[in-house]
Chain A
């Protein structure tokens, strides 16, 4: 089955712990993006990557880290430095510039 797979769907974390969210795609898309959504709000860009081994900070990168070692994978680590990590996290991909972006089903992270 083709598409964008985010896992896990739900994630609970204790304060002070790092946690990694997975985003895998088999669409052969070059660009990948991580967004955060808070209740009742739009999406805000955390990090994005246009090619393997390269990524750029988005608007709210503090407290997050990413890697892009493979074209298919763009994991997001939420570190203990992120003060308000409880949110809905969405991964997106795009084939190239001037094409539409597609989103995964998201991961709901709750800090307990």
Chain B
């Protein structure tokens, strides 16, 4: 089945800095999502982006399906951005999401 790899595994930023999180997948996809897991464990939907580019406030995401990667951009980071960011992809008819191991982000004041 499809494999999903995320980088970097850990990221420490000063408040106000920008960052790029990367997600590589091993096969073509028909579903790709980015999530933010807060300290209580809840998964917050950030983007549903099997292809193209989307923006939501300080966050934006781009998926280049032909090159098998997706990127999440965080601009002007805030302490509330801290947590774990997951990329998840699917390429089967039932669209079983396969998760990467996440990027743990810490934004310090």
Give chain A's interface residues, CB within 8 Å of chain B: 31, 33, 35, 37, 40-45, 48, 50, 56, 58, 88, 90, 92, 94, 97-103, 105-106, 108
Contact = CB atoms under 8 A, between A and B. Distances in A.
Given A43-B86, A98-B30, A56 B42 contact: no
Given A94-B95, A105-B42, A106-B41, A100 B101 contact: no
The B interface, classified by DSSP as helix, strand, loop or mixed, is loop
Contact of B96 (A45, A98, A99, A105): A45
A42 B86 contact: yes
- Counting contact residues on chain B (CB < 8 A from A), the size range is 20 to 34
Contacts of A100: 31, 33, 45, 48
A80 B14 CA distance: 46
A111 B33 CA distance: 32
A54 to B, nearest CB: 11
Interface string B87-106: 01000011111111110000
Contacts of B4: 42
Interface in B66-109: 86, 88, 93-102
